[in-house]
Structure 1
Amino acid sequence: MTGFRAGAMLFTGRFEGMTDKQVFDSALANAKAAEESGFDELWVTEHHYISYGVNPSALAMAAFLLGRTEKLRVGTAVTLLPTHSPVHVAEQALLLDQLSGGRFDLGLGRGGPVVDYEVMSSLDHWERGYDQAVRVLLDSYSGKVSADTEFYEFREVRPAPAPRTSPHPPTFLAGTSPEAARRAARLGLPMLFFFSQDDASKAELVALHAEEAARAGHAGPFQHAFATIAHVADTEEQAVAELIGPLRQFYGKAEQEYVLLRDRPGPQRGEDYFEKVFEFVLSTFPIGTPRTCAQRLEASVRASGVDRVLLMLEGSGRPDLAERTVRRFGAEVLPVVRSALGADDR
């Protein structure tokens, strides 16, 4: 591990009764609260064609937040690369790297095989084009790039501006599988892990990544990151009560609204799937009193070996509770975790 860092993950979720304006007003309020409360960074997501998430451009949202903050790093979690031109994504990352004074992190992923690819790209790009897109993007950071692959074919061009951060803006690859870990390792990039993985699974992928990266000549260290749902209240019962209804709504809409272009990878979901998800989330994620949140977060960092954390703090579906959670995490949880983990560093 390389040193604990805490980020507020702004999912820009639209819960029952919220307008788009309220979603974005809340995101900005939470960003300001995070900067005032001692967070290290912000992370923003990207959604297309769903009712419960209303930010179609992680890069545009990151640019806005970089302009409205002074100290925080801002990253995308994630930019859905195969739905965009990789050269253009690289240019935008380089621009934000320059304009922000080096405060920008680019997280890349491909998401699921959903209708986004029918509208913006193609399912072939999802199935076979991701590796090519990532390599074209990384080549674009060098100042000149050409391509002659199945999905990208163009003469040499010179993307600009030059990177401010050497050798290029920090770039992460999202993933949940051994294949994803090997891909990131071969390219010398750290990984982003998301809500569905337990700590043991993350630890296995971190170990695999280290082995593959060393084999490819990338020594590291790598500061991987993981996302988790977080919520703080005065009692465990209050935290669960404030979170469980909106969580059920959130996961229910996800199940209803994603339009799949092919069968979902992985095991089929039975009737009790979501109950198991809720049990996993409520029993292991940093949800509860400040003490419980600190203990669980510290335990997760130690068990996974991943010490950069993206805290999704708006799961209550209420802007007032989301901002309260941001501020209480900054004041009552993060200092405890930093102290506990910092003792090992010394």
Structure 2
Amino acid sequence: MSRLRFGIFMAPFHSPVGQDPTSAYERDLDVIKQLDKLGFDEAWIGEHHSCGHETIPDPMIFIAHAANHTRHIRLGTGVVSLPYHNPLWVADRALFLDHLTRGRFMLGLGPGALPTDATMIGISLEDQRGALEQDVDVLMALLRGETVSARTGRYNLVEARTQYTAYSDFDIAVAAIASPTGPRTAAKNGLGLLSVGATVQDGFDALALHWDVMEQRSAEFGHRASREKWRLVGPMHLAETREQAIEDVRFGLDDWCEYTQNVVAAPHFRAVGASFEERVAWVNETGLGVIGTPDDAVAQVERLSKQSGGFGAYLLMHHEWARPEATAKHYELFARYVKPRLQGTTARLQQSEDYGRTRWQELDKRQADAIQAATDRHAKERAEAG
């Protein structure tokens, strides 16, 4: 496999409710700007319309804004809730953003995470995942340049086609949390997989389930399931010591957990514990994530790699468990100490240092002798010249 990639999955969470949304959006942008400077590969931004905590309603607008403040990082929808939209307009906007970002855009798709979103627009929760599978088929045909006629209870396309062509062969991925819908849809269409619930421990091995479905369904439809296009998402907060990391997350872990426990109706991703200590233990002791040090982060990614059989990217679930300055330090520590170890980018630097150490005594003496000899020659020439 190629170099392991790293990025973030930004819902974004802004807990508790009551924060100024304008400044919250600025914080989100600041995080992505920092990641761009630190060499992270990608950032995925979510779509949510209710419950008050996850506050970006249109990831495509945010991506267009963030693209003008960054240079290298790739920006994806994490995700567009496809059943909420007409597939033709999603295709047009995706191709448009592909051009505006000069190939830095990625398209993430899902059925919609918040039941309150779907309920407000009259989409049955029981039909939501089936709608995703149907809509992705339509969307992919439109992106291929085909003319599509399709009628559902949510839209009617009559010889519809997009007038745009792509700027690049941009990544398209489907989100998967608990059900097999995500891998089923991704495999059928030869797309990547975003395992948002990759680290949740709920009685079954989600990673094995996701990849088994990917391989079986990909073969059925003539595709090859690519681990390079498999992204795993999990939460972390790093500090220089585990004690400091735990102290950092006193700022916001409880608020975030309370949101998952009592506000958003998502039984597949719900915090455990009533006290701060119980919630820290839930993160660290179940394998869900890391509140600790860079060494803990390396161990977590290595464990997931072994458990899954390998994947292409690890995405840090962005949260606001800690204050902005501690969160910035967290990403700096990850970039400085975790990414290089897992990507192997410092191996040659270490070899070069080791070589210098083995030759230091010999070359240090020769260098000193050479400098002294040059100094002596100069002094002799000056003396001979009078």
The share of aligned pairs that are identical, in percent, is 26
Instruction: Specify which of 154, 161, 165 is matched with residue 168 of structure 2.
Output: 165
Residue 307 of structure 2 corresponds to which residue in structure 1?
Answer: 303
Report if aligned partners of 1:113, 1:123 keep a CA contact under 8 Å in 2.
no
Alignment check: 8 A CA contact 1:9 1:311 kept: yes
CA deviation map 1:69-124 (0-9, x unaligned): 11111111111111111111111111111111111111111134612123235227
Aligned partner of residue 230 in structure 1, secondary structure: strand
Question: Greater relative contact order: 1 or 2 (C-alpha under 8 angstroms, separation 6 or more)?
Answer: 1
Correspondence for 2:338: 333
C-alpha deviation, 1:204, in angstroms:
3.6
Instruction: List structure 1 segments (4+ residues) > 4 angstroms apart after TM superposition.
Output: 264-278, 340-343
State the Cα deviation string for residues 141-164 of structure 1 (Å, max 9, x = none): 122432334334321122132112
Aligned partner of 2:317 in structure 1 is: 312
Q: Report the secondary structure of 2:95's partner residue.
A: helix
Asked if residue 214 in structure 1 is aligned to residue 219 in structure 2, the reply is yes
Question: For residue 253 of structure 1, what is the amino acid of its counterpart?
Answer: Y
TM-score scaled by length of structure 2: 0.78
Unaligned runs of 5+ in 1: none
Q: Which moved more, 1:145-154 or 1:41-50?
A: 145-154
Aligned-partner residue type, residue 158 of structure 1: R
* Residues 9 and 312 in structure 1, CA contact (< 8 A), matched pair in contact too: yes
Residue 302 of structure 1 aligns to a residue whose secondary structure is helix
Partner of 1:239: 245
Supply the AA of the counterpart residue of 1:288.
G
Aligned residue for 2:344, secondary structure, equals helix
Q: TM-score, normalised by structure 1?
A: 0.86
- Residues 1:276 and 1:86: Cα distance change in structure 2 (over 3 Å): farther
Tell me the alpha carbon deviations over residues 226-275 of structure 1, each in whole angstroms, 9 at most, x when there is no partner: 111111112112212322562221121233333x6xxx677999988999
User: Where does structure 2 lack aligned partners over 5 or more consecutive residues?
Assistant: 349-386
- The DSSP-based 3-state class of the residue aligned with 1:133 is helix
Separation (CA, whole Å) in 1 of partners of 2:317 and 2:269 = 26
- Aligned pair count reads 337
Distance 1:131 1:277 in 2: 35
State the match for 1:293 in structure 2. 297
Query: Which moved further from structure 2: 93-102 or 105-114?
Result: 105-114
1:247 corresponds to which letter in structure 2? L
Distance 2:160 2:8 in 1: 36
- Secondary structure at 1:129 match in 2: helix
Q: How far apart in 2 are the matches of 1:147 and 1:300?
A: 42
CA contact (8 A) 2:187 2:215 kept: yes
Native 8 Å contact 2:43 2:73 kept in 1: yes
| RMSD, aligned α-carbons | 3.0
1:212 partner letter:
R
Residue 288 of structure 2 is aligned to residue 282 of structure 1:
no
**Aligned-pair distance for 1:179?**
4.0
